[in-house]
Chain A
Amino acid sequence: MTPIRLVVNGTEHLLEVEGPVSLLSLLRERLGLSGAKNACRQGECGSCTVLLDGEPVCSCLVMATDADGAEIVTVEGLAGPDGSLHPVQRALHDHGAVQCGYCTTGIVMSAVHLLERNPTPTAEEVKEALAGNLCRCTGYGAIVRALAAPERAADGEAP
């Protein structure tokens, strides 16, 4: 057993971890945070994306014992205390950019990271930032429109 300390969505957790389990398993099975999804288990699909010390990572590829000391943000950590949606969640909602929803939490996390660094991305920059997030409903058009600056500006939303 390896003791680890994690801060997840602002809350500190002290955990004992056995074996090479992934951060994704830890979040879902030990902490009950099922927002990050398990699909490919090899970093291809992005549905398990979380922020680790501010960087978007595939949590299925992070060995939980190596996440010791890290600050993790999952989709559960985005909404305000009153349940108000994060601007990225609001934008996807308002543009109908969610179909089955399985990829959505990963896309939200990648988009949060993009917009933190670049509040007014072009459609091309959105596509590059989401290159590691697959949507099998192929809802990319609406997703890019929801996140790219000119499209958001055209809707009268703050960039």
Chain B
Amino acid sequence: MLTVRPHSLDEALDALAAHPAATLLAGGTDLMVQVNYQGRRPEVVVALRRVPELQQMDDGFIGAGVTWSRLTSAPWPGLAQAARTVGSPQIRAMGTLGGNLGTASPAGDGLPFLAAVEARLEVASRAGGTRSLPWDEFLIGPKRTSLRPGELILGVHLPGAMPEVQEFAKVGARNAMVISIASACLVRSPDGMVRIALGSVGPTPLRAPRAEAMISAEKRPSPAAVAEFGRLVAEEVRPIDDHRSTAAYRRHAAGVIARRLLERALA
């Protein structure tokens, strides 16, 4: 196994151009489980944690290498709340937002925030240069992305005007070290516009457009409208049965957390 340890973005892109099929290593919290349990034996690993460009975080950009520990104090409450629910202190010290995107698990804790605020991804390769694409053109299925061979996730761009109110919640078997059964991020602007994105209840994070349209039209949502919002969200999700939960429970949980997040946002 060859391990390449680039110290700049240029070196990282060169390494990927030379080894387009290389395995990208960020925090290792997903990859090493595959190594330890499924006997995964990468031929070439490009280890990214020494690339300073991927560590940047400013007003509108989060580098792919920013860890969950750093994101717990990020200025975006929807993402900071999600970061606090990721794994454990040990996992948060290593795992990164870029890893969440590259793994593209439907349960990725950072993904509902990105979907709710309509973040764009920036990816780059030596051959193709830099391209920017909306979150839903990047996350295309369970553990499937549109990242091309030789390409690297640089980070995410957040929109200029971010909704002020942002809330995140997830349902799992305990408060730590849990892969969510259902999760959601809800954002609300002063003009009443509400967006909600849900995780673990579909092949990718899902938005609930009918629920969003209904509640965004309400200047001061009544308790009945709030309840209807939860009901519509539960209708719009597309959960499956698996070893962590049933589709029926996930649908129910999605409606409940949607309603609670809206109540929090309106409080």
Contact = CB atoms under 8 A, between A and B. Distances in A.
Interface string A80-123: 00000000000000000000000000000010010000000000
Interface in A3-31: 18-20, 22
* Interface size class of chain B, counting residues whose CB lies under 8 Å from the partner chain: 20 to 34
Contact of A20 (B35, B37, B90): B35
Interface in B28-80: 28-29, 31-33, 35-37, 40-42, 45, 47, 49, 69
Given A2-B3, A63-B45, A66-B47, A43 B91 contact: yes
Nearest to B1: A19
Q: What's the dominant secondary structure at chain A's contact region?
A: mixed
Nearest to B67: A55
A61 B33 contact: yes
B64 to A, nearest CB: 16
Given A20-B32, A56-B93, A57-B90, 17 more contacts: A20-B35, A22-B36, A41-B33, A43-B33, A49-B90, A55-B69, A55-B93, A55-B94, A56-B89, A57-B94, A61-B32, A62-B32, A65-B1, A66-B3, A128-B176, A131-B176, A132-B177
A129 interface: yes
Interface in B153-183: 175-177
8 contacts: A41-B36, A43-B90, A60-B32, A61-B27, A66-B25, A66-B49, A68-B5, A133-B88
A35 interface: no
A63 B28 contact: yes
B94 A61 contact: yes
Contact of B87 (A43, A55, A63, A110): A43
Interface of A: 2, 18-20, 22, 41-44, 46, 49, 52, 55-58, 60-63, 65-66, 68, 110, 113, 128-129, 131-133
Contacts of B69: 55
Contacts of A131: 88-89, 175-177
A49 B94 CA distance: 12
B267 interface: no
A154 to B, nearest CB: 26
Contacts of B91: 43, 58, 61, 132
Contacts of A68: 5
Contacts of B2: 2
B121 to A, nearest CB: 24
B5 A19 contact: no
B10 to A, nearest CB: 19
